[in-house]
């Protein structure tokens, strides 16, 4: 995990969960977010996650130049899309949205192993469309080349916003 991913993760989570924003201005770029419930399969079970899709778009060209999906665990189950489990997911998501700022920050900062988020190399096809220009269709499932290059000229603005959020929520 690199420094940029750490910063973007924190900004994306605070903006979506606490500030109810779907975009952050980075000068010539905009950092845009979309949230949904997704699943990650493991050897033993499935993990229902809050998936925060994040893309960086150049304002002049409207081209998406960078993307990443951050996953946070909601719950684990044998089948996350079974009726009983769907009800539990809804309950957990409602609790999360009703939580205090402090509780939301605990959720955001909670470690998922060594990182604050889960990696999922298999992109849920429902999430792929958000990444437009980064998307390739070589198979039945869309392949999204997440990552790309985060433009150097956007980093000072990213750092500034990151530091302001740390100051406010730390």
| Residue 136 predicted with pLDDT over 60 | no
Average pLDDT over all residues of the chain? 87
Model confidence at 31, in pLDDT bands (50, 70, 90)? very high
3 state DSSP class of 117: coil
Higher-pLDDT residue of 70, 147: 70
Higher-pLDDT residue of 13, 134: 13
52 touches 83 (CB < 8 A) = no
Please tell me the predicted confidence (pLDDT) of residue 86.
92
Please tell me the predicted confidence (pLDDT) of residue 135.
56
Size (the chain), residues: 170
Q: How far apart are CA 116 and CA 130, in angstroms?
A: 22
Extents of the domains making up the chain: 3-162
In a 10 Å sphere around its CB, with 0-12 CB exposed, 13-18 middle and 19+ buried, how is residue 9 labelled?
buried
Please tell me the predicted confidence (pLDDT) of residue 122.
72
Chain CA centroid to CA 46, Å = 18
| Residue 105 predicted with pLDDT over 60 | yes
Percent of the chain with pLDDT over 70: 89
């Amino acid at each position: 995990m690199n420094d940029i991913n750490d910063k973007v993760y924190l900004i994306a989570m605070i903006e979506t969960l606490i500030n109810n924003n779907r975009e952050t201005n980075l000068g010539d770029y905009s950092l845009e977010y979309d949230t949904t419930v997704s699943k990650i399969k493991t050897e033993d079970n499935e993990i229902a996650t809050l998936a925060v899709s994040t893309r960086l778009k150049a304002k002049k060209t409207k081209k998406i130049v960078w993307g990443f999906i951050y996953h946070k665990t909601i719950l684990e189950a044998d089948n996350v899309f079974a009726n009983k489990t769907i009800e539990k997911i809804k309950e957990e998501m409602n609790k999360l949205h009703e939580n205090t700022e402090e509780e939301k920050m605990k959720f955001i900062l909670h470690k998922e192993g060594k990182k604050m988020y889960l990696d999922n190399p298999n992109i849920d096809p429902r999430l792929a469309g958000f990444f437009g220009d980064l998307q390739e269709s070589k198979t039945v499932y869309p392949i999204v080349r997440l990552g790309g290059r985060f433009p150097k000229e956007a980093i000072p603005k990213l750092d500034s916003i990151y530091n302001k959020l740390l100051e406010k929520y730390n």
